[in-house]
Amino acid sequence: MLRDEVAKAFKIIQDGGIILYPTDTIWGIGCDATNTEAVQKIYRLKQRDEAKSMIILLDNDNKLQSYVAEVPDVAYDLIEFAENPLTLVMPGAKNISPALINKDGSIAIRIVKNDFCEQLIQRLRKPLVSTSANISGKASPQYFSQVDQEIIDGVDYVVDIDQHSMEIKNPSTIMRLEPGGKFEFIRR
């Protein structure tokens, strides 16, 4: 089942589509983070201002250097010891769609701890966009049954995993991290 869902989602993403999928936090809308056309589909679906960047997911912290010019050493410790999902906002974004890069040149990245996401990212060999599965301004759904029909109808594929789970998951903690190691919490 997991392998089948990864294969289906991979095909959609490879063809420039967008998916609705479970993550280690809340349900997300995603696509290939290097495909600007797909990224823009997500902005349109969410009715989100393109100035508000979205996060990317990686399966392993050794890939950070492929997408961030200078990764502070402390980033690896933060990722390793974080008890809850942690999104790091770092300057010097590279090798991803310009539509995902913040005005200040930063990108938000989370190393995902979710079997489906890990396997999909490994197969894709690229980062995966992740943004909450809601219309901009509306509440983020805590589980699949709370996802608006407009979102479900607007994606190219809905991943058939954990749709009946009622486990409440929270959005990730977000920290801004500078090359020198200075950091600040954006969302706890």
Task: For residues 40-63, give the mean pLDDT.
Answer: 92
5 within 8 A of 161, measured Cβ to Cβ: yes
Domain of 177, CATH number, reads 3.90.870.10
Angle between helices 2-14 and 115-124 (to 10 degrees): 40
47 within 8 A of 20, measured Cβ to Cβ: no
Structural domain containing residue 134: 2-187
pLDDT of residue 87: 94
Which uninterrupted H or E stretch holds 14? helix 2-14
Amino acid at 147: V
pLDDT of residue 180: 83
Q: Which residues contact 145 (CB under 8 A, 6 or more apart)?
A: 163
Domain count within the chain: 1
pLDDT of residue 95: 97
Instruction: Report d(CA 124, CA 121) in Å as an integer.
Output: 5
User: pLDDT (tens digit, 9 = 90+) per residue, 56-83?
Assistant: 999 999 999 999 999 999 999 999 998 8
23 within 8 A of 111, measured Cβ to Cβ: no
**Phi/psi of residue 72, nearest 5 degrees:** -65, 145
**What is the 8-class DSSP label of residue 100?**
G
pLDDT at 28 > cutoff 90: yes
Q: Which residues contact 168 (CB under 8 A, 6 or more apart)?
A: 142, 143
User: pLDDT (tens digit, 9 = 90+) per residue, 146-166?
Assistant: 999 999 999 999 999 989 888
151 C-beta neighbours (distance < 10 Å), count: 20
pLDDT of residue 168: 80
Q: Which residues contact 111 (CB under 8 A, 6 or more apart)?
A: 57, 58, 59, 60, 61, 79, 86
Say if residue 156 is exposed, middle or buried (CB neighbours under 10 Å; 0-12, 13-18, 19+).
middle
Q: Which of 54, 26, 7 is nearest to 159 (CA)?
A: 7
pLDDT at 53 > cutoff 90: no
Q: Which residues contact 122 (CB under 8 A, 6 or more apart)?
A: 59
pLDDT of residue 169: 79
User: pLDDT (tens digit, 9 = 90+) per residue, 88-128?
Assistant: 999 999 999 999 999 999 999 999 999 999 999 999 999 99
**Phi/psi of residue 131, nearest 5 degrees:** -145, 150
pTM for the whole structure: 0.94
pLDDT above 90 as % of the chain:
77
